Amino acid sequence: MTSSRLVPAGVARNWPGMTWAALGMAAAIAIAAPVRGHAADAFPSKPIVMVVPFAAGGPTDVVARSVAAAMSKSLGQSVVVENRLGAGGTVSASYVAKAAPDGYTILIHHNGMATAPALYSKLSYKPLTDFAFVGQVADVPMTLLGRHDLPPNSLPELVTYIQKNQSKVNLANAGLGAVSQLCGMLFQKAIGVDLQAIPYQGTAPAMTALLGGQVDVLCDQTTQTLPHIKADKVKLYGVTTVDRIQALPNAPTLREGGLKGFEVKVWHGVYAPKGTPPAVIDKLNGALRAALKDPAVAARLQELGAVIVPEDKQTPEGLRTWLAAEIDKWSPIIKAAGVKAD
Ligand code: ASP
Q: Which is more confident, 18 or 147?
A: 147
pLDDT at 169: 97
Asked if 203 and 228 count as a contact pair (C-beta separation under 8 A), the reply is: no
pLDDT beyond 90 at 187: yes
Please state, rounded to an integer, the average pLDDT across all residues of the chain. Answer: 88
The answer to whether the CB of 179 is under 6 A from ligand 1 is yes
Handedness of CA 178, 60, 158, 241 (dihedral sign): positive
Comparing CA positions, the residue from 234, 227, 291, 239 lying closest to residue 264 is: 239
User: Ligand 1 pocket, 130 CB below 6 A?
Assistant: no
Q: What is the pLDDT of residues 201-224, one digit of tens each?
A: 889 999 999 999 999 999 999 988
User: Using 50, 70 and 90 to split pLDDT, how confident is the model at 39?
Assistant: low
**Contact 289/73 with Cβ under 8 angstroms?**
no
Using an 8 Å Cβ cutoff, are 234 and 208 in contact? no
140 CB under 6 A from ligand 1?
no
Atom from ligand 1 closest to the CA of residue 204: 7
Span from the CA of 15 to the centroid of ligand 1 (angstroms):
58
CA 75 to chain centre: 21
Q: Quick check: CB of 43 below 6 Å from ligand 1?
A: no
Residue 203, ligand 1, Cβ within 6 A = yes
* Per-residue model confidence (pLDDT) at position 41: 74
DSSP β-bridge partners for residue 266: 140
Atom of ligand 1 nearest to the CA of 219: 4
For domain 48-139+268-337, give the fold: D-Maltodextrin-Binding Protein; domain 2 (3.40.190)
Alpha helices in the chain (DSSP H): 9-14, 20-42, 59-75, 90-97, 112-119, 155-164, 179-191, 203-211, 222-230, 278-293, 295-303, 316-337
- Any atom of ligand 1 within 6 Å of the Cβ of 53: no
Residue 8 pLDDT greater than 70, yes or no: no
CA of residue 268 to ligand 1 center, whole Å: 11
Question: What is the arithmetic mean of pLDDT over 36-57?
Answer: 85
Q: What is the pLDDT of residue 38?
A: 59
Kind and range of the H or E run holding 49: strand 48-52
Query: What share of the chain in percent tops pLDDT 90?
Result: 75
Distance, CA of 59 to CA of 240 (rounded, Å): 16
What would the mean pLDDT of 278-301 be, rounded to a whole number?
Answer: 96
The pLDDT of residue 286 is 98
The architecture in CATH of the region 141-239 reads: 3-Layer(aba) Sandwich (3.40)
- Number of helices and strands in the chain (H, E): 12, 10
pLDDT of residue 338: 77
User: If pLDDT is split at 50, 70 and 90, which confidence band does 40 have?
Assistant: low
* Residue 67, φ and ψ in degrees, nearest 5: -70, -40
User: Which tens digits make up the pLDDT trace of 238-271?
Assistant: 999 999 998 899 999 999 999 999 999 999 999 9
List the chain domain ranges.
48-139+268-337, 141-239
CA of 60 to the centre of ligand 1 (A): 6
Distance, in Å, from the CA atom of 203 to the CA atom of 218, rounded to the nearest integer, reads: 9
What is the pLDDT averaged over residues 307-316?
A: 96
